[in-house]
């Protein structure tokens, strides 16, 4: 029993330091720049970094690394996985690749999901916090959380001018 409790403490420490190391390799600015490039294309206001959201994603990453089963919180969170240590720009580009599937007039995704894209360009989501972590399997994931959250049902991500 004593031994089990001890290993648990060690594992928790391992997980925390693993997540911290991964996060330190990507600067918040990389996430912000990548978002703002995609947002600018459709005339959406720039996004800025929110430390509280980043801390939340870091905290959530710890239990996620064991299974790598990252289930997105439908209220303001998006995530992506890869077999390699994907960069902020790569993660945002993967989300932005859904752009052709967003039908603005019908305000729906056609042929494929596009909710990652609509969250990235959600005009009212003016702050973001992200993290990157490596799972025990070796896979990596990036997750971002937005405030205010986007993808509000029946609303469009932005106004077309």
Ligand X SMILES: *[C@@H]1O[C@H](CO)[C@@H](O)[C@H](O)[C@H]1NC(C)=O
Smaller CB separation from ligand X, 95 or 122: 122
In a 10 Å sphere around its CB, with 0-12 CB exposed, 13-18 middle and 19+ buried, how is residue 82 labelled?
middle
Cα separation of 61 and 69, whole Å?
Answer: 10
Contact between 118 and ligand X per CB under 6 A: no
Task: Indicate which single residue of 127, 134, 151, 152 sits in contact with ligand X (rule: CB under 6 A).
Answer: 127
Contact between 123 and ligand X per CB under 6 A: yes
Q: Which residues contact 14 (CB under 8 A, 6 or more apart)?
A: none
Contact between 158 and ligand X per CB under 6 A: yes
Task: Indicate which single residue of 25, 45, 75, 136 sits in contact with ligand X (rule: CB under 6 A).
Answer: 45
Contact between 32 and ligand X per CB under 6 A: no
Q: Which run of H or E residues covers position 131?
A: strand 127-134
Q: Which stretch binds ligand X (CB under 6 A): 12-20, 48-56, 78-86, 96-104?
A: 48-56
Sign of CA dihedral 72, 77, 82, 84: negative
Smaller CB separation from ligand X, 102 or 158: 158
Cα separation of 85 and 87, whole Å?
Answer: 7
Contact between 44 and ligand X per CB under 6 A: yes
CA distances for 85 relative to 3, 52, 137, 139, angstroms: 34, 23, 13, 8
Contact between 137 and ligand X per CB under 6 A: no
- Residue pair 60/97 in contact (Cβ under 8 Å)? The answer is no
Contact between 120 and ligand X per CB under 6 A: no
Task: Indicate which single residue of 25, 52, 66, 113 sits in contact with ligand X (rule: CB under 6 A).
Answer: 52
Smaller CB separation from ligand X, 13 or 45: 45
Residues forming the site for ligand X (CB under 6 A): 43-45, 50, 52-53, 123, 127, 147, 158-159
């Amino acid at each position: 029993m004593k031994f089990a409790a001890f290993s648990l403490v060690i594992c928790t420490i391992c997980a925390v330091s693993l997540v911290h190391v991964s996060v330190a390799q990507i600067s918040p600015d990389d996430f912000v720049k990548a978002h703002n490039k995609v947002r600018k294309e459709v005339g959406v206001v720039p996004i800025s970094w929110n430390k509280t959201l980043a801390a939340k994603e870091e905290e959530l990453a710890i239990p996620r690394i064991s299974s790598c089963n990252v289930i997105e919180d439908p209220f303001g969170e998006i995530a992506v996985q890869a077999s390699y240590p994907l960069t902020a720009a790569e993660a945002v580009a993967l989300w932005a690749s859904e752009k052709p599937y967003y039908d603005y007039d019908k305000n729906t995704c056609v042929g494929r999901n596009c909710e990652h894209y609509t969250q990235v360009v959600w005009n009212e989501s003016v702050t973001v916090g992200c993290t990157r972590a490596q799972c025990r399997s070796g896979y990596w994931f990036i997750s971002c959380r937005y405030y205010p959250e986007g993808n509000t049902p029946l609303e469009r991500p932005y106004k077309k001018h």
